[in-house]
Chains A and B, each alone.
Chain A
Amino acid sequence: MSALRVARRYAAALLMLGKEQSVEDRLAEDARLVLEAGAQSPQLRNLLKSPIIYRDKKDRILRRLFEGKVHDITLRFIRIMLRKRREAYLLDAFRQYVELYKAAKKIADVLVVLPTPADAPLMESLERWLRTLPPLQDKQRLNVRTVADEAIIGGVMTEFEGYKLDRSVRTQLERFKKAFSLS
């Protein structure tokens, strides 16, 4: 079975349980924590994928790593994946959990690139503007992350959920340049 399908199946179950016990937000934080750990530590990634290390050893290591830091359900989830020999897909499962969680809660991650750092009033008007874009209209919450990048000269560029809107001065200038060099 494809990694995606395995991961999605486990993640869906976790979300269901989380909703039942109203801890889905906490579980999402846990998922981010585990993913962060995975992203930063190649050792952890290798441990999960390794066919040589015994499972009870893996179990001990993961417990020492996460016990007390994550919700009990998360820990049990990690251990059940281990018992079912699916630990290689653990990170994929947490990634899918975050996706499913965001879809269920109508949360969107938005990246906004501006030429200068944004202050509070600008952030507010930015968010109002973002909410007018069709793919974001029905979202409950926007997690806006802003990046200041002088290279775009002016204007704004934003990316979210597989969409991109580029209203930067740099791109506009490039477009003019292209139009004139072609004809």
Chain B
Amino acid sequence: MVNIRPDEVAAILREELAGVQDEARLEEVGKILQVSDGIARIYGLRGAKSGELLELDHGVTGIVLNLEEDNVGAVLLGPWDKIREGDEVRRTDRIASVMAGDGLIGRVVNALGQPIDGKGPIQGELFEMPLERRAPGVIYREPVKEPLQTGIKAIDAMIPIGRGQRELIIGDRQTGKTTIALDTIINQRENYEKGEPVICIYVAAGQKASTIAQIVKVLEEHGAMDYTIVVAASASEPAPMIVYAPYAGCAIGEYFRDTGRPALVVYDDLSKQAVAYREVSLLLRRPPGREAYPGDIFYLHSRLLERAAKIIGEDSVAAQMNDIPPSIKDRIKGGGSLTALPVIETQAGDVSAYIPTNVISITDGQIFLEADLFNAGVRPAINVGISVSRVGGNAQIKSMKKVAGTLKLDLAQYRELEAFAKFGSDLDAATKFVLDKGARLVELLKQDKFSPLRVEDQVALIYVGTKGLLMDIPVEKVQEFERRFLEMCHLKLSEELRQIAEGKFNDELAAALENVAKDVIAQLKS
């Protein structure tokens, strides 16, 4: 029989006790003057700094936002309903931060980085990453040149996104904004399987809890949670949590970026975050400006989005980057990137409202989704004419660049003539050709949700489309063609596709694609 001796128990207890911090510190304390709606006014704390973390009772933390003559205004995170007037508030001398690490992958956390998926504590080593941090300076950055494939034909061909870029997804409600972001995340599975994962962070700020649950389910079903982190602050959470959720997502993304890995962060959506920030600001009695937003609403978004970056390749230079948090000081590696896909919701397509114009001006381009297109069955409902990517062109693989060159022009011409076509049928041959080709291209660019395509498949399809090979089949059969054509290509041209994926595109490859296309068209006609 195994015995435990009493002195053994005593010894272990003593060891454990010795580990408890018993050194009382000299603390700077203040008193709560007033709490309401998650905002506290605190008397004292004369040394407090803006952005500093405060400690209250009941596990509540606060972040200092306003420094006034005789009091401090702070937002409270956590169950602040238990806080009473006169309660003690302690300074911590730390800036608000989240604990980030590889253990977060596959988890759902809140804006404080605490798990909310019921799978227990986050495993593995964690590093303290500040929520607010200055963006890397110019010398630590590299131009965007590596593609981030979304798997969506219309985007990869015409609005390419590069690693380290910030591309805005903007549109009315229910136009497929979230779907585009999710498709992009799902498409990173390819990289994960290759062993070069792009870590994805999906920040749900101010969305319905049911929507968030749905999103997590979709990601799980498509095997995307293997390389994805979800940061959730649902609409029912206090406004400060919604304000800080994107910052938490960004801080987690920076952990991966600064340790030399590519990361992608989706902020869904920043309009709701702006509304939450407006609420906080008004409660703090900051003066309201346009649309009652506070004066620093632009800065709220610009300092967040500026943190997306492609970091320089040399480790030695990257290690000298500005504002590196001490926790990851020894682990800095170059070559990492943080790509940001902010989402903005517009009202009735109005992009000239305050928040949309702000964010459009900060980002490197926008993907504009239109309700009319969506309702007409053109999904993804991207308005190609006004969607742009200001840096992505350099990030396209060569083969795609070659075949997609005229695509945007073709579609623009089509859109222009489409309006006329409605008036009469007496059209000259040239006009008719443009219209017919355009209609087929639009059909070809349609894509169902959650079914991203590999880039070589996209190149093959777009080549066939822009070459005008589809003119012989009716518009309704284009999708049928797409399915059969890709099937055939995978069967017969796997070597050719591999070359295309590497960026090659020559007459030989083109001829091979054309042959397959002709076969399929012949099949469809018969």
Contact = CB atoms under 8 A, between A and B. Distances in A.
B22 A162 contact: no
Interface in B1-45: 16-17, 19-22, 24-30, 44-45
B69 A167 contact: no
B84 interface: no
Contacts of A133: 26
Contact of B21 (A2, A167, A175): A175
Interface string A101-128: 0000000000000000000000000000
A4 B70 contact: yes
B46 interface: yes
B30 A2 contact: no
A164 B26 CA distance: 6
B315 to A, nearest CB: 38
B24 A171 contact: yes
Interface string A1-13: 0101100000000
Contacts of B69: 2, 4-5
Nearest to A177: B20
A163 B20 contact: no
Contacts of B16: 180
A112 to B, nearest CB: 14
Given A2-B69, A5-B69, A164 B20 contact: no
Interface string A152-169: 000000010011111100
Nearest to B25: A165
Nearest to A168: B24
Nearest to A180: B16
B17 to A, nearest CB: 7
A172 B69 CA distance: 35
The main secondary structure of chain B at its interface with chain A is mixed
Nearest to A179: B20
A175 B28 contact: no
A176 interface: yes
Interface residues of A, number: 19
Contact of B24 (A2, A134, A165): A165
Given A4-B69, A162-B44, A176 B24 contact: no
A176 B26 contact: no
Chain A CB within 10 A, most for which of B45, B69, B90: B69
A167 B19 CA distance: 18
Contacts of A134: 26
B17 A163 contact: no
Give the contact-size bracket for chain B: 20 to 34
B45 A162 contact: yes
A5 B70 CA distance: 10
Nearest to A8: B69
Contacts of A172: 22, 24
Interface in B87-108: 88, 90
B232 to A, nearest CB: 25
Interface in A1-37: 2, 4-5
B461 to A, nearest CB: 57
Chain B CB within 10 A, most for which of A2, A164, A166, A175: A164
Contacts of A2: 69
Contacts of A5: 69
Contacts of B44: 162
A163 B22 contact: no
Contact of A162 (B17, B25, B30): B30
Nearest to A134: B26
A5 B69 CA distance: 9
A163 B70 contact: no
Interface string A126-163: 00000001110000000000000000000000010011
A163 B24 contact: no
B21 A165 contact: no
Nearest to A2: B69
B67 to A, nearest CB: 14
Contacts of B28: 162-164
A179 B18 CA distance: 11
Contacts of A167: 24
A28 B44 CA distance: 22
B30 A175 contact: no
Contacts of A4: 69-70
A99 B341 CA distance: 53
Contacts of A135: 26
B46 A162 contact: yes
A179 B22 CA distance: 11
Contacts of B70: 4
B29 A164 contact: yes
Interface string B428-458: 0000000000000000000000000000000
A166 B28 CA distance: 11
Interface in B231-269: none
Nearest to B69: A4
Given A4-B69, A5-B69, A165 B20 contact: no
Contact of B27 (A165, A175, A176): A165
B46 A165 contact: no
A133 B27 CA distance: 11
Contacts of B45: 162
Q: Which 10 A-B pairs have the closest CB atoms?
A: A179-B20, A162-B44, A164-B29, A167-B24, A165-B26, A4-B70, A164-B27, A166-B24, A4-B69, A176-B20
Interface of A: 2, 4-5, 133-135, 159, 162-167, 171-172, 175-176, 179-180
9 contacts: A5-B69, A162-B30, A162-B44, A163-B26, A172-B22, A175-B22, A176-B20, A179-B19, A179-B20
